[in-house]
Amino acid sequence: MKQNILLLILLIFSQSIFSQTTDCDKITLFLNEKEAQIAKLNLHDPDCIPLHYLFAKDIIKELEQFKNEDISRVTACSTEKFSEIINKFDALKNSVQLKYDSLRVLKENVYLIFYEKARSEYQFKNEADGDYYLQRALQYNATFPDAILLKLNKLLDKKRFEECLSLLNILYYETEMDTEQEKQAIAFTDKFYNILYYTGDALVKSEHAAEALVLFEILETFCLNLPTAYCNDDYFHGVLRSKSGIYESYITIAKEAEKRGNPKIAAHFYQYAQEYAAANPNLKEYEPVMEERNATAAAPVSTVQYVSNIPAVENKVARTKDKVVHTEDKVARAEEKSEPKLSSKEIKTKYDNMISQGLALCLREKFIESYKMFLEAKKLEECACFQTDFRVDLMIHELSKFVGGE
């Protein structure tokens, strides 16, 4: 009986020792895992800093929880093991706290790291990487003047004027600039105005009034919303000159249609001109021309004189006819090329842009290119995912006769 009691005591004692050894091993394993995690915390890559700041915060919480809930079990370990665990715990706690403090500071200034990396990439002509880091800088601090100024110059180089306008509003109304940044802002704003004005002016002179009007309207918005010291009446005159050019382009197309014996398209463009003049009352000097042309536009088709014996027109039609015959085939082949799938909104935006481009080409008397553009727009209607524009069918129908000489 005594022997059995002794064996039972020995069994309980051995199980207790095994349990203590197992607990000590688990504690050591836990601390080793935390040590590996702390070693991987990155203080140099700006893409990692915000996330690794959160990792460090979690590790501190886990070590604190270990201290409160599990440290008592360490006393059951051997003296050597106990000393090893305590020393390791203290070292890990200090190490992660130092990294956490550094990451907290870096997180607040990570936009500066992205900005400097962007500048470095641009210096080495790595535009794509520079664009990426600059965008990341602005994601973390959308009102950082240096990043905004750098982005403005990059957008201006790419002629993305409307995006410049949005950023300029942020720069002037949402940021706090120092003296040097204000000087850079003034220099950029002056450059922006001059580029838009002189580019628009050149387009008007080269009879590209529709493109010019886009620039002058951006300039008009700029002058209405930003410091007026940069603006004078030039931009407003530019708007008027562009609109006058568009009006004249409508009349030119209508006259040419008459010459080619296409009274329907002539009537449409006289109507466009009339509506455009009505919508822009500042173009009053063109009203006499409109009154003269209204009678022609309103006349029955049978009363319009056909002019089919002009050699120059016939020769031009003959030269272009073969190109037009194959237009639809070319467009179809182009559509067969693999393109990334677009959302309904993206398709509608592309559709609207094609209509605007088609009309602009028509205004510049590039009738074949305009016809092709409307054919491409028509193809997009197949998705049946947006409301179509009646002008597509109208322009395809009329331009097919106009450029085909039918």
Q: pLDDT tens-digit profile of 298-356?
A: 332 222 222 222 233 233 333 333 433 343 444 344 444 444 567 777 788 888 888 87
Please provide the distance, in angstroms rounded to a whole number, between the alpha carbons at the two ends of the chain.
122
**Cα gap 100→25, rounded to integer Å:** 27
User: What contacts 28, CB < 8 A, 6 or more positions away?
Assistant: 81, 84, 85, 88
- Name the residue with tokens 């990570």: 110
- Name the residue with tokens 């002016």: 201
User: What contacts 39, CB < 8 A, 6 or more positions away?
Assistant: none
| CA-closest candidate to residue 160, choices 243, 227, 234, 218 | 218
Per DSSP, the three-state class of 232 is: coil
**Cα gap 358→363, rounded to integer Å:** 9
The pLDDT, as a whole number, for residue 151 is 97
Residue ranges of the alpha helices (H) in 178-326?
179-205, 209-225, 234-259, 263-279, 287-298, 311-325
CB 328 within 8 A of CB 219: no
Q: Which tokens in the block code for residue 52?
A: 């690794």
Helix 161-174 vs helix 145-157: angle between axes, to the nearest 10 degrees? 160
User: What contacts 268, CB < 8 A, 6 or more positions away?
Assistant: 254, 394, 398
Q: What is the pLDDT along the chain (406 residues), one digit of tens a residue?
A: 555 444 444 444 444 443 445 578 888 899 999 999 999 999 988 889 888 989 999 999 999 998 888 777 777 788 888 889 889 999 999 999 999 998 999 988 999 999 999 999 999 999 999 999 999 999 999 999 999 999 999 999 999 999 999 999 999 999 999 999 999 998 898 899 889 888 887 877 777 767 877 887 788 788 777 755 556 556 556 666 666 767 776 677 677 768 777 787 777 777 777 777 777 776 654 333 333 333 333 332 222 222 222 233 233 333 333 433 343 444 344 444 444 567 777 788 888 888 878 877 776 677 788 888 889 989 888 887 877 776 787 778 777 766 664 4
Q: Which tokens in the block code for residue 286?
A: 């063109």
Q: Which tokens in the block code for residue 281?
A: 């009352």
**Cα gap 168→162, rounded to integer Å:** 10
**Cα gap 86→66, rounded to integer Å:** 12
pTM over 0.85: no
- Name the residue with tokens 């602005």: 138
- Name the residue with tokens 């950029």: 188
One-letter amino acid for residue 167 of the chain: L
Query: If you compute the radius of gyration of the chain from its CA atoms, what whole number of angstroms results?
Result: 37
C-alpha atoms less than 13 angstroms from C-alpha of 364 in its C-beta half-sphere: 20
**Cα gap 367→373, rounded to integer Å:** 10
